[in-house]
Structure formats: C-alpha cells, structure tokens
Amino acid sequence: MEQPLAPYSVCNLAAVNLAEMADKEKKTVDFEKLKRTVAVGVRMQDNVINATPYFLEENKKQALGERRVGLGVMGLHDLLIYCETEYGSKEGNELIDQVFETIATTAYKASIELAKEKGSFPFLTGQTPEETNRLREAFINTGYMKKMPEEIRRGILEHGIRNSHLLTVAPTGSTGTMVGVATGLEPYFSFSYFRSGRLGKFIEVNADIVQEYLEQHPEADKNHLPKWFVTAMDLSPEAHADVQCVIQRWIDSSISKTVNAPKGYSVEQVEKVYERLYRGGAKGGTVYVDGSRDSQVLTLKAEENTNEQLSIFPEEPHVVLVDTITDLRSTDVTIGSEVGNTCPVCRKGKVKEIGGCNTCTNCGAQLKCGL
C-alpha cells in the first residue's frame, strides 16, 4: 500500500510526468523544470484540499487538519531512457537518487512557502506559541525529517509547514498508460505486445518511446535495442528492490512497486527479497513470481498461456494480454470474448453473460463487461 492513512484521512494524489523532465538533446534531466513543476504541483494539490466537497464531517476535519497530499511520479523509466541510463544499474540509481532528492526538497520548500502565505496545517498549531514550538520540534525530529537538509528543518521550526505529508508514489496505471509512459516508478514490462482490434485481429503495439527511438534512428533494430531499453523481467529481483529503497529515502509516505521474479523462484528466495527491502528502508513491498497464478494479464511468451496459442505468435518475447486472446487460425470454433464463443483463457468453457459481464462457464474469467 503506497498511502498509509489515519482514520478518515483522504488520499489526495497527483503525479509528475518525469518523461517531460528530460532534456532530450543533452540526454540529461532538466532539474530546473522539475523544480518548477513540483512547486506548482504542491500548490495545486493544496488548493484541491479546500475545493473538495466532503460528504463526511470526519473526512473534512481530518483533511483540513493535516492537509496531506501525495505528489508522485510516472515515466521514470522513460526519463532514464532519454538519459541513456540503464534502470537498475549503479549509474541509474545515482541519477534516481538525484531526481527524488530534488522532488523531495523542492516539495518541502514549497510547502514551507505556503505556510508563510496561508499558515501551517492546523494539527501542527498549538493553543500557545510554546505548544506550537513543541509540535514543530517533534515534527522535525521524526525519522524522515532527520534526513532532510538542515535549511528545511530550520524553515519548519521558524515558519511551520502547510502539509503534514507531501510525497507518495502511486501506480498511475490508467494515467500513465493514457499519456504513453511507464507507469509509476516501474520499468517497462515489455516494449512490444499484441492486442486485439475491433475486427478481432491482433495488432502489434510498440511502446511510444521505442517508436520515437526508431524514428530518430532508422538504422536501429527494434529486436536489438541499446542496453538502456531494459525490461522488468531483464532485471534481477534484487535490482528491483534496490531501486525502491533508493527512492524510499526521499518519500515521506510509501511506494507502490512490484519486484518481478522469474518462474521457479523459491519461497526462501522471496523471503530474502523482503529482507533486502526491509534492510534498505522500504516501508512495504510486493514480490510477484512469474507464473505463480493460473492466469495473469502480462506474460513474456505465448506458450506460458497455453500450447495451442504458441503458433499464433512469432518467437520474439512479446507480451500477451490474456483477456484479449483470440485464435487467428482457420477453425470452426470461435474463440473470443463474445457470448457463445469458446473461452480464450481455458479453451474449455463457453462465454455467457453473467451479472452484466461476459464470463467463462468453466474457469470464471471475466472477458468483457457491459457495466
């Protein structure tokens, strides 16, 4: 969970698109643009707190009392690719550390400036000046604040701070996909996959950043991209965990991050990953072992779904979206997500409308929803 909350707290999230923070000509991070964007984001989210209609008085009291916001990111992997830096590498982690230090310090400075302008969050304000000073002293001596630069800690003692929390890295699955960048702080699972079109035929889809690279480098081979086009399953679980721990140092709430592990990863190996996350300072973590569920949305090869589907795809390591698979071969059996079709997941059941969703009568897969 990326946002631990107090009773009746409100989850007020936003995300900076880090792909837009790259200087593509210089292959570096535009840190000044990043600072401006973060400062505007903090002010915007603080305004949202007042603009929100609260349906429960308890929510309103808590939200206006702590003024918690969670500014996060999307497109981290895109930023690294534009900087020609490999996700999970030593150089990549050093750059990530600089990026998130900039985000954290800028966000806290912006919140201090807002406190000068509009006042601290009420829960940090006592009945007397002495009580307020004690609250501020306690605030800057929490574990996270002890790691912040001294100028920020002094600024909070002198002026207070507008928001109790400022940073959260949520998954941004829908918004990241909508704008065509890697979601949250995850690396791309794959740069190429198949999806079904309106006519039921498979269409090959390449990630926008790959298309952009190929257009700029016509001589490049999409099957042999530079090393900084690493994917989630190319990384060791330890590399995934280390990236999360580097970022956690600068995040006052928590982080949504999946540590991808290969098939056959043992319970003992998973345990060691969690221990690594704990020792690295992560507040939580998720380890997903490939193939550990009967059906999963993303897989690297078609044969990991069913042998029958293997002949549909080339040997390249494309991702298959399981919920859109249809059989392209000439056959009397219609396999798909429409009512009456044979289920594309288990190939045994029939698709029927159950509770508003087209559902397999054998495996229960929900293939299409009309709600």
Contact status, residue 103 vs residue 74, Cβ threshold 8 Å: no
Percent of the chain scored above 90 by pLDDT?
68
Q: What is the CA radius of gyration of the chain?
A: 24
Residue 201: pLDDT band by 50, 70, 90 thresholds?
low
Structure tokens at 9: 């707290």
SS3 assignment, position 288: strand
Confidence check: pLDDT of 195 > 70: no
pLDDT digits (tens, 9 = 90+) for 205-230: 668 999 999 999 999 998 899 999 99
Mean pLDDT of all residues in 159-163: 98
Instruction: Give the CA distances from residue 189 to residues 181, 185, 232, 258, 305, in Å, rounded to whole numbers and listed in that order.
Output: 12, 12, 5, 11, 17
Of 151-155, 260-264, 329-333, which gets the smallest average pLDDT?
329-333
Give mean pLDDT, residues 11-40. Answer: 97
What's the whole-number mean pLDDT along residues 122-141? 97
Distance CA 103, CA 74 (A): 13
Pick from 165-169, 255-259, 265-269, 349-353: least confident: 349-353
CA-CA distance, 49 to 45, in Å (whole number)? 7
Lowest mean pLDDT among 136-145, 148-157, 189-198: 189-198
- At residue 370, the pLDDT reads 54
Average pLDDT, the chain: 86
The whole-number pLDDT of residue 353 equals: 85
- Amino acid present at 293: R
Q: Taking the C-alpha atoms of 25, 30, 32 and 34 in order, what is their torsion angle to the nearest 10 degrees? A: 140
Please, is 132 exposed, middle or buried when counting C-beta atoms within 10 Å of its C-beta (0-12, 13-18, 19+)? middle
pLDDT (0 to 100) of residue 369:
64
What's the whole-number mean pLDDT along residues 81-105?
98
Mean pLDDT lowest among 78-82, 140-144, 313-317: 313-317
Q: Which of 10-14, 42-46, 314-318 has the lowest mean pLDDT?
A: 314-318
The answer to whether 258 and 231 have CB atoms below 8 angstroms apart is no
**Which pLDDT band, with edges at 50, 70 and 90, does 199 fall under?**
low
The region of weakest confidence among 234-243, 347-356, 360-369 is 360-369
Report in angstroms the alpha-carbon separations of 142 from 119, 138, 147, 283: 21, 7, 9, 15
- Contacts of 140-149 with C-beta under 8 Å, sequence gap 24+, read 144/252, 147/249, 148/104, 148/105, 148/108, 149/105
Mean pLDDT of 351-371: 76
Residue 67 near residue 134, CB atoms below 8 Å: no
Residue 105 pLDDT exceeds 90? yes
User: Which stretch, 291-295, 323-327, 330-334, has highest mean pLDDT?
Assistant: 291-295
Confidence of residue 95 (pLDDT cuts 50, 70, 90): very high
Per-residue pLDDT, 191: 87
CA–CA gap between residue 335 and residue 236 (Å, rounded): 36
Three-state DSSP class for residue 273: helix
Give residue 18's pLDDT band: very low, low, confident or very high (50, 70, 90): very high
Partners of 167 in the β-ladder:
71
Task: Enter the tokens of residue 163.
Answer: 């928001």
Whether 166 shows a pLDDT value over 80: the answer reads yes
- Does 116 score more than 70 pLDDT? yes
Render pLDDT for 277-308 as a digit per residue (tens, 0 to 9). 999 999 999 999 988 876 554 544 433 434 43
**What's the confidence (pLDDT) of residue 112?**
98
What pLDDT, on the 0 to 100 scale, is given for residue 302? Answer: 39
Beta-carbon contacts of 277 under 8 Å, excluding residues fewer than 6 positions away, are 241, 244, 245, 259, 284, 285
Tokens representing residue 198 in the block: 């309106």
Say which residue, 306 or 24, is predicted with more confidence: 24
Given a cut of 80, whether residue 365 has pLDDT beyond it is: no
CB 44 within 8 A of CB 71: no
Query: How many CB atoms sit inside 10 A of residue 320's CB?
Result: 25
In this predicted structure, what is the pLDDT of residue 114? 98
